[in-house]
Amino acid sequence: MRYVLPAVIIVIGLITGMFGILQKTVWAPDETRTASVQLDEPGPVIVIEPGVLNLYETPATLTATAADPESEITISRTTKENADAWVGASDVTRITGLADETTLAADTTTGGEGAQDAQSDATEAPEDGATDEAANDEGADDEAAQDEAVDPEELATVPAPGSADLWESTESGDGTVSLEFDEDAQRTAFVIGTDGEAPAASEISLTWPNDSSTPWAIPLMLVGGGIVLVGLIVGFFSLRAQQREVARRKARQERRRRLAETGAAFAIVPVIALTGCAPEELPKAEPAPAPTEAGPAVTDEQVTAILSRIGDSVDTADADLDADQLKKRVSGPALTQREAAYKVKDKADDFTLPPAIATDEVLVNHTSATDMWPRVTSVIAKDADSETTQLLVLAQQDARADFTVWSQTILQPGAEIPEVADPREGSELLAPDAEGYRLPPAEVAAGYADLLAKGEDSDSAGAFDEDAFVKQARSNQADQREALESGGAEVSFDYKGEDSQVTAMAAADGSAIVTGVVSTESTITPDSTESTTGTLTIPSPAADVLGETSTSEDLHQTSTVVVTWVVPAGEDDPIRMVGVNEVFTGASLGD
């Protein structure tokens, strides 16, 4: 029995050390933790709510698997507000958090039950030309929709989510797609889908890095080794003391009893080490609070992608003079100009179309701060082929619609554009009748038209700074009058500012950047007497459009001029023209 105590101590040490070794091997925590959910009927779209990817320490990896391994599936990043607006009342599955440690919580709504309250707040934007046109285009459809019950079958499908302009970025893959996220939750949501008709995904999984450290492993191995060493030492002394303690058996027995009590205390160590593992409380998604102010309409990355898609579409339309293709990505005065140019180009090979939409380099993302539709934003970009810098106004009718180019102006050499607000915050979209400026935005085009018609005699002459376009227009008028009067003909010019086609956005210095439309018409009347009427030679491209080279009738030639101005605050500084784009739109004969 003299060796029982050393043996017990050594066994306890070995067991303690074994617990440490097991924590480093068999019991070692996984390096990652994963939660997933299988979805049978998720609907055409899945939304990952803000904060879900931040339930644990990031980076988080979001993986979506399509029911059909050959179908393309996409994950698109946006804000919760934009995601809710895009989904609307359509069938949707929302991933809201964890159901348990390994299962994601999914909430599927159908038949319009998933419509978000935020959607009702995002239906009316400040009135301006671009948003008015979009609203008018949709007005009849909206009224009809209010009168008819929503068809559940329509709610069961959506446009293919991956192609929406509303998204900040999109990842796609065949059968499966993954996205890594290593940022604060903010209001970031993710929209998942395939073609908008098939189920959005059959499985969603999230993987996070896991704390695989084992803080008790090394201490338990060291303590176990120490206990084994103590057992060996005790055994050694027990062997040495055997010969001396033959006569003192009772004393040795008493000592063994005390040492056995000491060994029992060591046996508690592994138990204590193990009982500290209590069930972990499930974390909850903690996104940033809902914004109290409108955010930017588009991010820098988003507007670059949008321009690229617009540019490709318009290039295709230009190549084929395809007005139907053009309408997919162009609206407003830009559509008026280009559609008319196609008709002229079809008859006049030498006619030059307006320059391509600038997509090569985004210089300024002058995005509006808005959470409503229809919405308008603008961007300044370069086009390498035409060597132009363009200010483009973009319009979007609703959350699912593509952005279109509403206007295109060519910035003039040396034009000074004021600083604009940080694109991460956005700039204010101004109403056409906004006060506090040299002229209200809606009146700028009319004032400029009067200046083109009358020059220094215009009542608006003092409100505008001198610019090259007005000088050139006035010079051309004088040259035409002089040339035609020598042959007895007369020419008149009519300029009309369109107060219904205007956009205005605030700049950082308090001024407004306004884009508007001026319609022009020149009328040439041939020399006429009681007995004879003179003949006019019709210039190109009007001759190509009319199919005639001369006429005895009045010749009318029209063009559409889109102009961008910087309108200062107050009454002192003049309005500056910074960009213009004039396009010949047609010709006619007669009164």
Cα separations in angstroms, 247 against 235, 238, 244, 251, 445: 19, 15, 7, 9, 122
- The model's pTM is 0.80
Determine the Cα–Cα distance for residues 9 and 31; give it in Å rounded to an integer.
Answer: 35
What per-residue confidence (pLDDT) applies to 80? 95
What per-residue confidence (pLDDT) applies to 12? 82
Determine the Cα–Cα distance for residues 385 and 198; give it in Å rounded to an integer.
Answer: 42
Cα separations in angstroms, 157 against 80, 171, 194: 20, 21, 11
Backbone angle region of 150, left / alpha / beta, with phi > 0 → left and psi within -120 to 50 → alpha: beta
What per-residue confidence (pLDDT) applies to 122? 44
Let me know: does 45 contact 190? Beta carbons within 8 Å.
no
Instruction: Name the DSSP letter for residue 327.
Output: T
How remote is the C-alpha of 411 from its chain's centroid?
Answer: 26
**Closest Cα partner for 453 from 516, 522, 513?**
522
What per-residue confidence (pLDDT) applies to 241? 63
Alpha-carbon dihedral of residues 308, 311, 312, 317, nearest 10 degrees?
A: 160
580, β-bridge pairs: 410, 563
* Token digits of residue 212: 């695989």
- Averaged over successive runs of 10 residues, the pLDDT of the chain (591 residues) comes to 68 74 65 91 94 94 95 95 93 95 93 53 52 50 46 78 92 95 94 94 94 66 75 68 59 56 43 48 90 92 96 97 97 97 96 96 95 94 95 96 97 94 94 96 97 94 94 93 85 94 96 98 84 82 94 95 97 96 96 77
Determine the Cα–Cα distance for residues 56 and 102; give it in Å rounded to an integer.
Answer: 13
